[in-house]
């Protein structure tokens, strides 16, 4: 019931960029120093985020990374899905299920529903919400979960 540490790092990195000039170019080294995440790891995550068009990269000297969209447009759900694949709490809550349990896999449908609910919860939180949290709404209600 945890997200990967790498995913966590990836989000920290994205938040760092968002909070420190989302359009400015940030190098891997600078981000590593700013977040205290080991640089090779930062490098790897930045590549991954750039490949999925969450960041834009500029190669060469004085290159770096910046957000491809404004922080409000990038949800935590998207970051999680990019960094660790579809949000599915169990193996059988995705599209395929080849488990041998219980023959008819009675729990499959409920898990799909649960996973969807989790996904939508993550979808309501954006990078903008993660930056310097205001401790007041808009974040706290989190989109009306649990009315």
Partner DNA sequence: GGTAATTTGCACTAAATCAGTCCTATATAA
Partner DNA sequence: TTATATAGGACTGATTTAGTGCAAATTACC
Binding residues (CB under 8 A) for a copy of itself: these are 1-4, 7-8, 11-12, 15-16, 19, 34-37, 76, 80, 84-85, 87-91, 100-102, 106-107, 109-110, 113-114, 117-118, 120-122, 124-125, 129-133, 135, 139-140, 142-147
Torsional sign, CA 52, 58, 62, 68: negative
Least distance in angstroms from the C-beta of 127 to DNA: 19
**By C-beta, is 63 or 91 nearer to a copy of itself?**
91
In total, the chain counts a number of residues equal to 147
**143: Cβ–Cβ under 8 A, 6 or more apart, which residues?**
120, 121, 124
Among 61, 96, 100, 147, binds DNA (CB under 7 A): 61
Beta strands per DSSP E along 8-121: 55-58, 64-67
Which of DNA, a copy of itself, none binds 79 (CB below 5-8 Å, type-dependent)?
A: none
**By C-beta, is 118 or 142 nearer to DNA?**
118
CA 60 to chain CA mean position, Å = 27
Tokens found for residue 22? 């989302």
Among 50, 105, 125, 142, binds DNA (CB under 7 A): 50
Tokens found for residue 101? 């349990």
Which of a copy of itself, DNA, none binds 70 (CB below 5-8 Å, type-dependent)?
A: none
d(Cα 115, Cα 20) in Å, to the nearest integer? Answer: 33
**By C-beta, is 66 or 124 nearer to DNA?**
66
């Amino acid at each position: 019931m945890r997200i990967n540490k790498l995913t966590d790092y990836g989000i920290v990195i994205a938040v760092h960029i968002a909070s420190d000039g989302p359009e400015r170019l940030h190098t891997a080294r600078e981000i590593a120093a700013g977040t205290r995440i080991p640089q090779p790891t930062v490098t790897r995550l930045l590549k991954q985020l750039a490949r999925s068009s969450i960041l834009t990269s500029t190669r060469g000297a004085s290159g770096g990374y910046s957000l491809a969209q404004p922080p409000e447009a990038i949800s935590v759900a998207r970051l999680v899905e990019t960094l660790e694949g579809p949000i599915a709490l169990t193996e059988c809550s995705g599209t395929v299920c080849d488990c041998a349990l219980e023959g008819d896999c009675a729990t499959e449908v409920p898990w799909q529903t649960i996973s969807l609910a989790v996904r939508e919860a993550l979808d309501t939180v954006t990078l903008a919400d993660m930056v310097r949290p205001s401790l007041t709404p808009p974040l706290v209600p989190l989109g009306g979960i649990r009315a």
